[in-house]
Structure 1
């Protein structure tokens, strides 16, 4: 009995580690694009007139090249538990839904959505602080460091509730985003292994009877999953950022709830320049991010013998 519990704990640790490493690798790769997206979405006065690449150039010129990764330390603190919880809970939810509706095609969709919501609820305050830090401009810092940001938000913006501003929009967007992302990747993975095992798959390094995707195939499947899921959920992401930044924006009264935020953004800026502003940069972000995340997760799982 004791040995069974030790083995189960060992598996849990390995799954959490695989998910956390995957998330950190993915976010570091797209860190500069992530910060640029935040500045463009929130129409920062210094950068709102620029396109994606000009904005990145101006950030590097004005604040220095490393400023493109501003907020990345906070991102790593946030993303490790976020990704660990998301990937781990996806595996658990998938098994749970399979016991309820065996063979049901959309079990993976439900499991992905459930995993996304679980990870958001557990780590949202970290995302709030990371967004505030990334929005700062060198020489105009509102927050001295991460602990100072937590203290300032807590004491000046309403306590614990201030850390969850915008979470409703995040959850609404996460349901289709995580669901479609996990569903698309796992479905493509199963199809590739089933239909073209000799070309698109190879033997697991620890288990010759198990097939895993080749690296380039995994990257392609993850990138496609990211592109599809992002298209579905992007307006909610715009609303989430506006609500998170409401306290530091001049017209903050417009961004108190998800629907009022969506209406305000649409009324002021329209569909393309408002609700879908920054979508092109999000494709540049999310495609490599999801490609790296799923690929690293699959590789670490294989490396530690989880397959």
Structure 2
């Protein structure tokens, strides 16, 4: 650096510049806070720090958000917001696969993935692949936010309770003169949290799922969201928006429990085997995809029955319950009918699960770690 540049730093600067130069001096901290940081003062400080670290090999540039507003001050709120962002970004990318999967599961149109793509494009154009995507986005943002935030909160709560029970002794049940110990170590906090996450998101967001399926399967009957809401309410009142809620909960429990349990277990096992604390982004993508694939395969027959119940009224034949729906599928198509659309479902679930976890962990890194709440 030339001497002229060095001397220029020693000359008196405008007030904001002096404030910026003195931010690292304890004796001037009070004055800096009193007068506030000027825009040019902030910029000067940043460029000065970057110049000072230019020759430091450990200097690492990272993207950081400014301090978050007060309503995002709690950890739970930031996890909720991270889940919402992850869900929105994932669905925007994978909406066409969701459209194809829904059509194949309920038996509309072609029976193969490629044929369904061609059929939708021929009938509705490229925009048909995003049919119902507006309601899908409105659905997935609160669903994913509630689901992931509930999972994190219940998992922490259950783990904390187990630790307290271990320290204080397991709960006891007394019947007459006989005492029974109730050990809690066999309960998996991850499995309980996964089940709670599925139940909470389903109860809150089920009406949006019904609307999304109607817009996707029958766009000629329900061309817009407003018309869909009006016609569904006219046909069955508020209860129509909860059509299929029972089979949805029945189907959601095994899927959600397996999904979160598998991801968390695989993540911990992999990190231990590699002697590392966290996964990188490609590893999150792969493990999330594997967890989604396995959980979807286990619970898929229940998903088929659930979809039949939800859209059966549109075709004039709605089974009375889940058992009847499963029986109807087996009678018409055999056991293989229980996995009709499984390929399209995996094509959607695997990237969706992987991308969701990748985005979610990334947003948690930004909103939690970089804003002073390490986890």
The TM-score range, normalised by the shorter chain, is 0.7 to 0.9
Q: Could you tell me whether the CA contact under 8 Å between 2:83 and 2:146 is conserved in 1?
A: yes
The alpha-carbon deviation at position 131 of structure 1 amounts to 0.3
- Matched with 1:205 is none
- Distance in 2 of aligned mates of 1:258 and 1:161: 18
The alpha-carbon deviation at position 195 of structure 1 amounts to 2.1
Which of structures 1 and 2 has the bigger CA Rg? 2
- Matched with 2:38 is none
- Distance in 2 of aligned mates of 1:263 and 1:26: 34
1:222 aligns with 2:285: no
- Matched with 1:147 is 226
The alpha-carbon deviation at position 59 of structure 1 amounts to 1.1
Q: 5+ unaligned residues in a row in structure 2: which ranges?
A: 1-69, 164-184, 370-374
The alpha-carbon deviation at position 280 of structure 1 amounts to 0.9
Bigger relative CO (Cα 8 Å, ≥ 6 apart): 1
- Distance in 2 of aligned mates of 1:104 and 1:133: 44
1:300 aligns with 2:366: no
Task: Give secondary structure in 2 for the equivalent of 1:21.
Answer: helix
1:13 aligns with 2:77: yes
The alpha-carbon deviation at position 244 of structure 1 amounts to 1.1
Identify the match of residue 56 of structure 1 among 95, 101, 117.
117
Q: Could you tell me whether the CA contact under 8 Å between 2:71 and 2:77 is conserved in 1?
A: no
The alpha-carbon deviation at position 55 of structure 1 amounts to 1.2
Identify the match of residue 283 of structure 1 among 326, 346, 367.
346
Cα deviation, 1:164-213, whole Å, max 9, x if unaligned, reads 1111111111111111111111112112222214xxx5xxxxxxxxx431
TM-score, with length taken from structure 1: 0.86
CA RMSD of aligned residues (A): 1.7
- Distance in 1 of aligned mates of 2:351 and 2:187: 27
Cα gap change, 1:136/1:93 in structure 2, threshold over 3 Å: closer, same or farther?
Answer: same
1:163 aligns with 2:226: no
The alpha-carbon deviation at position 292 of structure 1 amounts to 0.5
Q: How does 1:204-283 map to 2 (within 5 A)?
A: 211-252=277-318, 255-272=319-336, 274-283=337-346
Cα gap change, 1:98/1:285 in structure 2, threshold over 3 Å: closer, same or farther?
Answer: same
Q: Could you tell me whether the CA contact under 8 Å between 1:219 and 1:294 is conserved in 2?
A: yes
Q: Could you tell me whether the CA contact under 8 Å between 2:154 and 2:196 is conserved in 1?
A: yes
Task: Give secondary structure in 2 for the equivalent of 1:101.
Answer: helix
Cα gap change, 1:7/1:58 in structure 2, threshold over 3 Å: closer, same or farther?
Answer: closer
- Distance in 2 of aligned mates of 1:114 and 1:232: 19
Q: Could you tell me whether the CA contact under 8 Å between 2:87 and 2:356 is conserved in 1?
A: yes
The alpha-carbon deviation at position 295 of structure 1 amounts to 0.9
The alpha-carbon deviation at position 119 of structure 1 amounts to 0.4
Q: Could you tell me whether the CA contact under 8 Å between 1:166 and 1:239 is conserved in 2?
A: no
Q: Could you tell me whether the CA contact under 8 Å between 1:98 and 1:104 is conserved in 2?
A: no
Task: Give secondary structure in 1 for the equivalent of 2:229.
Answer: helix
- Matched with 2:190 is 108
- Matched with 1:206 is none
Task: Give secondary structure in 2 for the equivalent of 1:119.
Answer: helix
Q: 5+ unaligned residues in a row in structure 1: which ranges?
A: 1-5, 202-210
The alpha-carbon deviation at position 227 of structure 1 amounts to 0.6
The alpha-carbon deviation at position 12 of structure 1 amounts to 2.6
Cα deviation, 1:4-39, whole Å, max 9, x if unaligned, reads xx6885323211110111112222222111111211
Aligned length: 280
